[in-house]
Amino acid sequence: MATPDRPVARAIRKEKRFRPLGLTADTAIRRFFQGNAAFAILALVLIMVFLLREGAGFFGQNSRGIRVYRLAGLEYVDILKAQLDRHAELTRAANALRLKIFSGALAKGTAPEAASASLAGFDAFAEALGDASEDVRSLASDLTEQAAAVKQREQIYQDSIEQKAMLIRAGKAGEAAAVPSVAVDFSSEVKALLASLPVYKDANRLFAKKLSAALGMVGPQSVPAAWIPQLSGLKAATERYAATFPAVEAKLAAWRYDAPVPWYRAVTAFLFGRQWLTASFWQDWYGILPLFFGSLLVSLIALLIAVPLGVVAAIYVSEVAGTGEKTWIKPAIEFIAAIPSVVLGFFGVAILGQSLRAVSETSWLSWVPGFPMSERLNAFTAGCLLAFMAIPTIFSLAEDALTNVPRHFKEASFALGATRLQTILRVLVPASLSGLISAILLGFGRVIGETMVVLLCAGNRIAIPDFTEGLGAFFQPVHTMTGIIAQEMGEVVPGSIHYRALFMVGIMLFLLALGINYVAQRVVQRYRISIG
Amino acid sequence: MKPSILLTAVAALALTSSFAYGGKLVIKGSDTLGAKLVPQLAEAFKAVNPDTSFEIAAEGSTTGIAAVIDGTAQVGMSSRHAKATEISAATAKGVDLKPVTVCYDGLAIVVHGQNPLKSLTKKQVEQIFAGDITDWSAVGGKPGKISIYTRNTSSGTYSDFKELAMKKRDYAGSSQKMAGNEQIAAEVGKNINGIGYVGLAYVNAEGVQVLPVDGALPSPESLRSGAYPYSRPTFYYTNGEPQGEAKAFVDFTLSPKGQAIVGQVGFVGLK
């Protein structure tokens, strides 16, 4: 009998284990995986700490900014300016009305000269209306300069303090002492502003008198009969406006430069501020609402387009399509995700925007609100491209959700005699609803965080969309939270309030994305297989 | 998409291909100067001094001045004077910011090529950009809602225009912020109701026309004589008197040859 070449005992004898750092192979591998997971979490924590550290200083700076706004009397002057702004609106309304009447007359075949001549009465009224504010306006412009100068001096004083601190830190105490630095005495500065109140009251009385004189210049005879209701509307608005004057005076009289600014003002001014106004010679405002609504509007448009397309495509691929079709439809849709967003943005600027506007200018589409588009780069252009980017996300997740519905659901439905359509709509979609909702939410997260496309194609107008135009708001240019960071971060001075405000916008985006993801996960966990 | 990114890439390419022993000059700052003028000056300069290589980044005046203060650039391009805060930050770091006037730039008011309007007054320009006037018919044009295009908020031109043309008032809320001169020209060229302002180097963009303001068109003569209201000087900022490569380049810019390039690119030379 042949003996084996090696003794059995030797073949199965264990090699002496190599144990670096006293770890067995198993624990080493475990630690390796653990380490990788921990690294991701650590990076997340570091990012949050960084964002918070850079952004946290914002509220302090914003609060100081608002305090100086009050101390230097800018707030006082803004009460006046608000009154003048409302007057400017009235003038614009008058001009718009004149334009409508004028073009109406032209459309009826009246010669331009004759149409102008018939509006002479109205023109006299419009001119008198526009000029009525003259005295108040010139006063406001004087006060603007005064207050801006006070603010400027305060700014110089703050700079000098900063400069001293920097010099002292650099060990140049002698030079620091030589820096001139004069604190601003706000109470005496503001007294000069407040002393103008009697002058203002006189000017205001004159303003009101001129307004009523202007109103007397125009009557039903001044415009064609069809426009009389509009004219009386304008006159009524003017009367209502004149009636607000005593309230403005009372407000000015009650204003105190040293009234404390509540601590929450800096927060509410950011979260509910309707203006994002930077590099202003007057007063910077960092209100997130215009950007938030911009982001939301663009995302909404994107989802309105992407959700039906993505979900229906998912239903088709998972339930209806044959294997042959499946093998190319799925990769094709998922390939969309591989297109770089800057390429899509460039496509939007170069082609899509222009084409959409050309379409909007065709006459048979003029019933659509907002058409013809006045801007080729607007929320809708950006929304279309974002929809394209969200489709793969929504499609993949929705398809997974549909595939995860247990097979016996479908079989039971067929066994009961349901058609395929009934099965899809009554069984599969409800059963996978939680998955579909989370797919949509994650698509939303994808869209709201997208930057390049909105920066290039959304039109970058920093204003809350005018929702009074209804669906027309879809075709207005907007600016977004992501876009503003990309556009302004490169050029702000690090550490300035503008810089920190951009970080705060980043934090808001982060929280928003976190919230969306959290909700999406909860939906999946809580309502998994909601029927059955 | 900013021209500056492209420029940086071109500059980086130029760097890798240039001789290793050449001096390197880092220039950062204003898009107005850095998009066309300074790269062309750099090319001409290199023709004479082949050993010098350039790194040019045009991301706005603020970055340029900050880069000189931080010592990351030898020359900062700026379309505005340094702010008080910037000067104090520089002093604290022992940096002596020194401006050299390079040339004058005018801001031209551009509208769509088919806009029938033939001129505007200073007052009308102010009212349009501040949002007092929102329809072309109010300034004697064809009725249509005015679309305003401005530079983005951190650009030197953004605040320059407010100072030059708008009595320091703020832009209308409906204004759209564009990343550069070229983008403004492109949007105005595509929008019949558009209006914007661009540096003189961009007035020949496709589809736009320049409107005279108070009867004066921006031209070298009207800028130097002050007849055209919206003009401003542009600067190089250096740490103290420029040294070495930087000095050679600044001198070159101010030389007749450099100033000739200034004129070719569309700016207005000092003389």
Range among A506-510, B130-134, B215-219 rated most confident: A506-510
CA-atom Rg of chain A in angstroms: 33
Of B154, B174, B191, the CB nearest to A463: B174
Nearest alpha carbon to residue B147 among A465, A34, A86, A477: A477
Range among A269-283, A300-314, A511-525 rated most confident: A300-314
Nearest alpha carbon to residue A466 among A347, A370, A366, A335: A370
Nearest alpha carbon to residue B105 among B54, B170, B151: B151
Subunit contact B152:A477, Cβ cutoff 8 A:
no
| Chain centroid offset of residue B201 CA | 9
Q: Which amino acid, residue A88?
A: A
Q: Tell me the chain B residues in contact with residue A169 when contact means C-beta distances shorter than 8 Å.
A: 92
Q: Which amino acid, residue B144?
A: G
Q: In Å, how far is B257's CA from the nearest CA of chain A?
A: 32
Contact A305, A385 (CB under 8 A): no
Q: Is B126 on the interface with A (CB under 8 A)?
A: no
Of A92, A160, A494, the CB nearest to B134: A92
Q: Tell me the chain A residues in contact with residue B134 when contact means C-beta distances shorter than 8 Å.
A: 92
Whole-Å CA distances, B183 to A157, A477, B177: 39, 15, 10
Nearest alpha carbon to residue B211 among B232, B196, B226: B196
Mean pLDDT computed over B8-29:
56
Contacts of B7 (CB under 8 A, 6+ apart): B34, B35, B39, B56, B57, B58
> pLDDT tens digits for A181-224?
788 888 888 888 888 888 899 998 999 999 888 888 887 787 88
Nearest alpha carbon to residue A238 among A140, A126, A134, A116: A126
State how beta strands A276-277 and A285-286 pair. antiparallel
Of A99, A169, A488, the CB nearest to B135: A99
Q: What is the pLDDT of residue A521?
A: 87
Of B173, B176, B190, the CB nearest to A354: B190
Nearest alpha carbon to residue A168 among B88, B96, B83: B88
> pLDDT tens digits for A453-483?
999 999 999 989 988 888 888 999 999 999 9
Q: Tell me the chain A residues in contact with residue B176 when contact means C-beta distances shorter than 8 Å.
A: 375, 377, 459-461, 477
Q: In Å, how far is A282's CA from the nearest CA of chain B?
A: 7
Q: What is the pLDDT of residue A272?
A: 93
Contact A122, A101 (CB under 8 A): yes
Q: CA-nearest residue of chain B to A457?
A: B178
Instruction: Classify B152 in phi/psi space as left (phi over 0), alpha (psi -120 to 50) or beta.
Output: beta
Q: In Å, how far is A349's CA from the nearest CA of chain B?
A: 10
The yes-or-no verdict on residue B14 having pLDDT over 60 is: no
Rounded to the nearest 5°, which phi and psi values hold at B27?
-125, 125
* Token pair of A152 as six digits: 């400027």
The yes-or-no verdict on residue A100 having pLDDT over 50 is: yes
Q: What is the pLDDT of residue A11?
A: 52
Q: What is the pLDDT of residue A13?
A: 55
* Token pair of B236 as six digits: 């190089």
Of B147, B175, B179, the CB nearest to A487: B179
Confidence bin at B13 (pLDDT 50/70/90): very low
- Residue A482 and residue A439: Cα distance in Å, rounded? 22
Which neighbouring-strand residues pair with B178?
Answer: B151
- Residue A210 and residue A219: Cα distance in Å, rounded? 16
The yes-or-no verdict on residue A303 having pLDDT over 90 is: yes
- Residue B21 and residue B247: Cα distance in Å, rounded? 19
Subunit contact A281:B88, Cβ cutoff 8 A:
no
Q: In Å, how far is B159's CA from the nearest CA of chain A?
A: 7
**Distance between start and end Cα atoms, chain B:** 35
User: Which uninterrupted H or E stretch holds B236?
Assistant: strand B231-239
CA-atom Rg of chain B in angstroms: 19
Q: What is the pLDDT of residue A134?
A: 84
Subunit contact A488:B153, Cβ cutoff 8 A:
yes
Neighbours of B92 (CB within 10 A): 21
Nearest alpha carbon to residue B217 among B233, B234, B229: B229
Subunit contact B179:A96, Cβ cutoff 8 A:
no
Burial class (CB in 10 A: 0-12, 13-18, 19+), A110: middle
Nearest alpha carbon to residue B169 among B183, B187, B148, B186: B148
* Token pair of A285 as six digits: 């405002």
The yes-or-no verdict on residue A444 having pLDDT over 80 is: yes
Nearest alpha carbon to residue A98 among A118, A81, A84, A79: A118
Contact B103, B123 (CB under 8 A): no
Q: What is the pLDDT of residue A16?
A: 60
Nearest alpha carbon to residue B122 among B114, B134, B130, B112: B130
| CA torsion angle A188 A192 A197 A203 (round to 10) | -170
Place of tokens 């075709």: A475
Q: At what angle do helices A186-194 and A74-107 cross, to 10 degrees?
A: 40
Residue that wins the pLDDT comparison between B6 and B42:
B42
Query: Which of A277, A374, A475 is the mutation pick for testing B, counting most B CBs within 10 A?
Result: A374
The yes-or-no verdict on residue B6 having pLDDT over 60 is: no
Q: What is the pLDDT of residue A39?
A: 93
Contact A184, A153 (CB under 8 A): yes
Query: What rounded mean pLDDT belongs to chain A?
Result: 87
Q: Which amino acid, residue A492?
A: V
The yes-or-no verdict on residue B21 having pLDDT over 80 is: no
Q: Tell me the chain B residues in contact with residue A170 when contact means C-beta distances shorter than 8 Å.
A: 92-94
Q: Tell me the chain B residues in contact with residue A374 when contact means C-beta distances shorter than 8 Å.
A: 145, 147, 191, 193
Confidence bin at A8 (pLDDT 50/70/90): low
Mean pLDDT computed over A107-131:
83
Q: Tell me the chain B residues in contact with residue A167 when contact means C-beta distances shorter than 8 Å.
A: 91-92
- Residue A248 and residue A252: Cα distance in Å, rounded? 6
The yes-or-no verdict on residue A7 having pLDDT over 90 is: no
- Residue A88 and residue A83: Cα distance in Å, rounded? 9
State how beta strands B231-239 and B97-112 pair. antiparallel
- The size of the A-B interface in CB pairs under 8 A is 109
Residue that wins the pLDDT comparison between A164 and A248:
A248
Subunit contact B147:A275, Cβ cutoff 8 A:
no
The yes-or-no verdict on residue B1 having pLDDT over 70 is: no
* Token pair of B213 as six digits: 């303001």
Query: Which of A460, A475, A492, A497 is the mutation pick for testing B, counting most B CBs within 10 A?
Result: A460
Q: What percent of chain A lies above the pLDDT cut of 70?
A: 95
Q: Which amino acid, residue A118?
A: S
Q: What is the pLDDT of residue B9?
A: 47
Which neighbouring-strand residues pair with A49?
Answer: none
| Chain centroid offset of residue B46 CA | 23
Q: What is the pLDDT of residue B159?
A: 82
**Degrees (nearest 5) of the Cα angle A267, A453, A517?**
55
Q: What percent of chain B lies above the pLDDT cut of 70?
A: 92
Q: CA-nearest residue of chain A to B60?
A: A491
Nearest alpha carbon to residue B80 among B163, B1, B13: B163
Q: In Å, how far is A460's CA from the nearest CA of chain B?
A: 5
**Degrees (nearest 5) of the Cα angle A50, A55, A57?**
120
State how beta strands B208-211 and B97-112 pair. antiparallel
The yes-or-no verdict on residue A145 having pLDDT over 90 is: no
Subunit contact B176:A460, Cβ cutoff 8 A:
yes
Of A99, A280, A374, the CB nearest to B193: A374
Rounded to the nearest 5°, which phi and psi values hold at B99?
-90, 145
The lowest-confidence range among A367-376, B9-18, B134-143 is B9-18
Mean pLDDT computed over A98-107:
83
Q: At what angle do helices A481-488 and A289-315 cross, to 10 degrees?
A: 120
> pLDDT tens digits for B27-76?
998 887 888 889 999 999 988 888 888 889 887 788 888 889 888 899 99
> pLDDT tens digits for B110-163?
999 999 988 899 889 998 998 888 888 888 888 888 999 998 876 778 888 888
Q: In Å, how far is A386's CA from the nearest CA of chain B?
A: 18
Rounded to the nearest 5°, which phi and psi values hold at B117?
-60, 140
Q: What is the pLDDT of residue B3?
A: 47
Neighbours of A492 (CB within 10 A): 22
Of B63, B135, B177, the CB nearest to A460: B177
Burial class (CB in 10 A: 0-12, 13-18, 19+), B86: buried
- Residue A62 and residue A270: Cα distance in Å, rounded? 9
- Residue A297 and residue A278: Cα distance in Å, rounded? 23
Of A376, A462, A491, the CB nearest to B62: A491
* Token pair of A156 as six digits: 């110089």
Q: What is the pLDDT of residue A220?
A: 79
Q: Tell me the chain A residues in contact with residue B169 when contact means C-beta distances shorter than 8 Å.
A: 281-282
